[in-house]
Chain A
Amino acid sequence: MDTEGVEGVLHAGGTPIVTITGCVIVAIRDDLDDQSVMHLQDELVEEVARRGARGVIIDISALEIVDTFAGRMIGSMAQMARMMNARTILVGMRPAVAMTLVELGMTLVGVETALNADKAMNLIVNDLPPVALAQ
């Protein structure tokens, strides 16, 4: 495995968190219970501080479900990261998840989105303006 540019890898439960060129990246692979979601949020915020990261990328392409609890955790994660001068970009949201979040009235204020992790990294590393910012 090419590890060039990798600044750190840690595991929150079974979920690896990788930091590359100032971006803390996590791909959520399975349905996580509430406790694991809270644990992951703590780890991500701490990793942003430890690495002095400029952004957090959360890949949810494997998730079929984002309920109000997970949505609230993602939203507060983004707020905490912003206080530490880091952006949070959500990537890979499935259409069914997007439709469901809208029906739930979860607007994910302050959470940026990008099509994939590559595009999100480009936004963070080159300090580009958000593509679509939820209001």
Chain B
Amino acid sequence: MPNDTVSVTLRRASDVAYARQAAMQTMAAIGASSIKKTKFVTAVSEIARNAVLYGRGGVITFEIVGSGPRRSVVAECMDRGPGIADVALALTEGYSTGSGLGLGLSGAKRLVDRFEIASSALTGTTVTMECFAR
């Protein structure tokens, strides 16, 4: 299968579970270890939930990149929200503007091999996460 890309639309809370399933399947497709799968899918769950709760929904796309043992999964989650005013502050452990614990965003960053956020009031927030097979 060339160019494996899977997209999940994020509108409601139940879509977060579909995003987790897609993340799990993509990680299984590259033969990821169970610890890598669990870490990545957990990070995807946090980011997808943020998009639904705070980002007015959006879409998350999973793509397999590279070849051989250095294959990885790249997830890109784009929302339609108001953007994050202070990304550094939002990444502080325990900081939350909602009713959550403030562990999701900072936790997701620790769980993956690469983590990037681009956010603005005009374009919403895009989180990119990459995770290798092992």
Contacts and interface: CB of A to CB of B under 8 A. Distances in A.
Interface in B64-119: 93-94, 100-101, 103-104, 106-107, 110-111
Interface residues of A, number: 22
A4 to B, nearest CB: 37
B14 interface: yes
Given A96-B39, A103-B39, A64 B13 contact: no
A104 interface: yes
A95 B111 contact: no
Contacts of A94: 34, 38
Contacts of B38: 64-65, 94, 96-97, 99-100
B104 A64 contact: no
Contact of B100 (A31, A32, A68): A68
Interface in B1-26: 13-14, 16-17, 20-21, 24
A65 B19 CA distance: 13
B103 to A, nearest CB: 5
A34 interface: yes
A82 interface: no
Interface of A is mostly: helix
A72 B16 CA distance: 16
Contacts of B14: 33-35
A31 B101 contact: no
Given A64-B34, A104-B111, A31 B20 contact: yes
A80 interface: no
A103 B112 CA distance: 11
Contacts of B42: 65-67, 100, 104
A33 B13 contact: yes
A103 B37 CA distance: 14
A106 interface: yes
A62 to B, nearest CB: 13
B41 interface: yes
B39 A100 contact: yes
Contacts of B104: 67-68, 104
B35 A64 contact: no
11 contacts: A34-B17, A35-B13, A64-B38, A65-B45, A68-B101, A68-B104, A69-B100, A96-B37, A104-B110, A105-B94, A105-B106
Interface of A: 31-35, 64-69, 72, 94-97, 99-100, 103-106
> Which 6 pairs, one residue from A and one from B, show the smallest C-beta to C-beta distance?
A104-B107, A96-B38, A33-B17, A67-B45, A34-B13, A96-B35
